[in-house]
Chain A
Amino acid sequence: MNYNWDWGVFFKSTGVGQEIYLDWFVSGLGWTIAVALVAWIIALILGAVLGVMRTVPNRLVAGIATAYVELFRNVPLLVQLFIWYFLVPDYLPEGLQTWFKQDLSPATSAYVSVVVCLGLFTAARVCEQVRTGIQALPRGQAYAGLAVGFNLVQVYRHVLLPQAFRIIIPPLTSEFLNVFKNSSVASLIGLMELLAQTRQTAEFSANIFEAFTLATLIYFVLNMSLMVFMGWVERRVRVPGLMVGGK
């Protein structure tokens, strides 16, 4: 293959203002992190609520959460994103609609759409993990909480969830990484996150291989750091004498 590798390309001017290509990657990484972290917070909170709902002894409440999971898990992420970005704004109330379409900058409205989309999508997956975490606990734990006079909220808050979350840290970690990887769909609605900046660099500089190699490296290092961080969290909350989650 005749290809002239040029790793110096990242320090060359883009021809847009004073920027060099590396600046684009930095800014893209910033958007990727901003999308993924906010979406993850939404997913964790909503997923925990839905996961609890699936385990409460009330068919209607559990049914609502089940329906949510089926809906969001069985439609491709990209389809969901297009719905949130192209379709949903048209059905918003008048005021919200003008705000979304006119007051927000294109980047911000794309950002809002992708954060909402990714947050709700991932919540369905977090929900399933929270549910299995709760269901993995012995039934006696809930009884022990009820027997001392806790109401259902207190049983979940003090007895079930602290244990369930410890159990599901490993699968939650991989979901956390997925949010970062899935955030790349944002490039398809014009948000200049890492993948979009990579493609733009490839087009502007014609150094396709270098651009995608750097993007690969950045995603890899980012996700490795997250894994290390989650490993630290897991060790921090480990219960002495219990073998849950490795040695």
Chain B
Amino acid sequence: MIRFINVHKWFKDLHVLNGIDLQVAQGEVVVVCGPSGSGKSTLIRTVNQLESINEGEIWVDGKNVTDPKTDLNALRAEVGFVFQHFNLYPHLSVLDNITLSPMRVKKMERVAAEKRAEELLERVGLAHKKDAFPAQLSGGQQQRVAIARGLAMQPQVMLFDEPTSALDPEMIGEVLKVMKDLAESGMTMMVVTHEMGFAREVADRVVFVDHGRILEEAPPEEFFMRPQHERAQQFLRQLLTPMN
């Protein structure tokens, strides 16, 4: 479904992505983790070309996204993206946030779009909030709306860029629960996160990135029990016992 072939990206002198090769199969859930500044957010943003790359190729659903001839807008419509800071449209109600792109990009009728939006809100447990505005919701609720907004386009893939990093601890669980349900429904997912509990329970594979390289790629049990690379061991130690 997603395939990176020898992807490189530079920010001036900084080599943020250094020869990334990675595949995400249909229905697979891949968690990307790594220290901050490792390039993992940049990596996930290259999938729908919110970040461009300098070398290599990225294929999504059989299309080369780095080919200038590819219709990026059509491709992005098939790829759901959930941001760290939710990025809901603050001037629109929850319902309008979800129906906007199906109506404008897919030319769905309002009635149909709203029906679908209400089903999605039901699914993320926020049916009663459809007329609220984003600023009236908690962070966890906003992020669940953002997930519903992504799903409204009926995407082939969902990308999550640190979806719980901006949340208060007591709200992380409700968002992860929605993501877990989504994974169980068979959605192909690529998730940048530090939530190792989620990775252990939901991921098919964990990818560890540092300095723009993939240092380790393994099923969760193996990654957590027997990390091969020294940087991965160090990273896991710091996550589990941050005081030491």
Chain A residues near B (Cβ < 8 Å): 138, 140-141, 143-144, 146-151, 154, 158-159, 162-163, 166, 239-242
Contact = CB atoms under 8 A, between A and B. Distances in A.
Contacts, number: 74
Interface of B: 48, 50, 73-79, 81, 83, 85, 87-91, 100-101, 104-105, 132-136, 149-150, 153
Nearest to B101: A148
B104 A158 contact: yes
Given A146-B76, A148-B101, A149-B101, 6 more contacts: A144-B89, A149-B75, A150-B104, A159-B89, A240-B132, A241-B134
B101 A146 contact: no
A143 B88 CA distance: 11
Given A149-B77, A151-B73, A239 B85 contact: no
Contact of A149 (B83, B134, B135, B153): B153
Contact of B85 (A140, A151, A241, A242): A140
B74 A149 contact: yes
Contacts of A140: 83, 85, 87
Nearest to A139: B87
Given A154-B104, A159-B89, A242 B133 contact: yes
Contact of B50 (A141, A143, A162): A143
Contacts of A166: 91
Contacts of B75: 149
B198 to A, nearest CB: 22
Contacts of A158: 89, 100, 104
Given A158-B104, A166-B91, A148 B149 contact: yes
Contacts of B50: 143, 146-147
B73 A150 contact: yes
Contacts of A241: 132-136
Contacts of B90: 163, 239, 242
